[in-house]
Structure 1
């Protein structure tokens, strides 16, 4: 099976998602952008196209599996095949609050957005990558995934820990297949012109995709990343 030279950015916001889209576009990939709101995507598509890239917006809610499936099918039609790069960058930090006070339904929705959607995306795209024996499945994480923190961050901690578990177990399951799994753990708030500049961070995803680093996880602690 031959994969399309397409990179999917699931959770294409104005920070890391947009920077990753630009980074892969410079490598010649067509960019499929997925987010919940079309207005968020429109400016990014226009920006990429202005720079000479091929990009298209696909609307999906990470909490809605049916909308994810629709986006996946539409991407396959547009790209004329399955993508060779899939980056899961979606997350929600809501609801904030003490773990024992968060509404259970809201907590469950957060788990779906942060981790369930990641597994859903992998379930849909991994078979084609495995059949081709190449490509990458990438994930954006943060310190809460490794070091759960309360005081209002219990929900986000649970979601990121679960997402990280999806990625780590996936890496074990498909080891030796030729498909790379990569986690980029960003341990700080992102902002342009700082040590956590999204454009600098995005370059680390390429290293994970190309397999030029040891292991499957990079930790970005400001200005550079380490295994």
Structure 2
């Protein structure tokens, strides 16, 4: 039996939502921005590179969606806060947010990782996400009152990841922050989840495939679905978690990995 408050199954997943997407200039973030707009959201994209953001916003508007962008640097707390405040100035509320921004560092055994690369991945993928998520929670509480956040983790965070030590550790920290935020703000009606993509054909992975021929093929051979994902497939999972159709889901880290960690 369908409850009287259940969402209309014929409506877009994110109709009437104001959605903020950190790290939306390319890859999973850009694919999510396009999808969220198609699903009815008003989207605000954020990243460092204005040309990339403008290009994605233009595509969304050309397709009939509602989109704009703000600049944000995940290494700068003030920049993150200003980006979230920019959403509120433009649209007067924040309902949902996707935190996709991050960096990768060269694959190497931990003893070969430079201090500079360790600091970079920690600052952007851990500290930057923490500052983004907390700014978004404050904005949701002050405006919409309730809402949802999805953080982008990695399947590499779910167990030991040779060659990806600092990156995987930062993503595991994302999982912990996600669970804690879900526990702290669930009583207020704010859901917080994470997704853990497996091999996904972003620009970073395509470059890795060029640098190490056969690397993606090796991962695909370990993946039950025997292929990599396209960014749009990862975005679909995020859209559902942010939607009211996932209204009783919070505090999870959902693998979207083709069964790689099965």
Common fold by TM > 0.5: yes
Distance apart, 1:200 and its partner CA: 2.5
Aligned residue for 2:239? Answer: 206
Q: Which runs of 5+ in 2 are unaligned?
A: 1-15, 203-226
Aligned residue for 1:136? Answer: 148
Pick from 28, 52, 57 the counterpart of residue 40 of structure 1: 52
Pick from 178, 183, 207 the counterpart of residue 172 of structure 1: 183
Q: Secondary structure at the match of 1:176?
A: helix
After TM superposition, list the pairs within 5 Å mapping 1:78-89 onto structure 2: 78-79=90-91, 81-89=92-100
C-alpha separation in 1, matches of 2:71 and 2:43:
14
Aligned residue for 1:64? Answer: 76
Aligned residue for 1:23? Answer: 35
- Structure number having the greater strand percentage: 1
* Number of residue pairs matched by the alignment: 218
Contact map agreement 2:191 2:249 (CA 8 A) in 1: no
Q: Secondary structure at the match of 1:139?
A: strand
Question: What's the TM-score, normalizing by structure 2?
Answer: 0.75
C-alpha separation in 2, matches of 1:212 and 1:82:
19
Structure with max Cα Rg: 2
Pick from 82, 87, 91 the counterpart of residue 75 of structure 1: 87
CA deviation profile, 1:60-106 (whole Å, cap 9, x unmatched): 11112122122122222122x23101100011112543323323243
Bigger shift: residues 59-68 or 92-101: 92-101
Contact map agreement 2:20 2:94 (CA 8 A) in 1: yes
Contact map agreement 1:45 1:55 (CA 8 A) in 2: yes
RMSD: 2.4
Aligned residue for 1:185? Answer: 196
Contact map agreement 2:155 2:257 (CA 8 A) in 1: no
Question: What's the TM-score, normalizing by structure 1?
Answer: 0.86
Distance apart, 1:202 and its partner CA: 1.4
Contact map agreement 2:20 2:98 (CA 8 A) in 1: yes
Contact map agreement 2:49 2:71 (CA 8 A) in 1: yes
C-alpha separation in 2, matches of 1:190 and 1:95:
17
Contact map agreement 2:18 2:43 (CA 8 A) in 1: yes
Pick from 67, 81, 96 the counterpart of residue 55 of structure 1: 67
Q: Secondary structure at the match of 2:78?
A: helix
Q: Secondary structure at the match of 1:109?
A: helix
Bigger shift: residues 91-100 or 55-64: 91-100
Aligned residue for 2:138? Answer: 127
| Structure 1 pair 174–214 and aligned structure 2 pair: CA distance change class (3 A) | closer
Aligned residue for 2:21? Answer: 9
CA deviation profile, 1:28-76 (whole Å, cap 9, x unmatched): 2111111111111111011001011121121111112122122122222
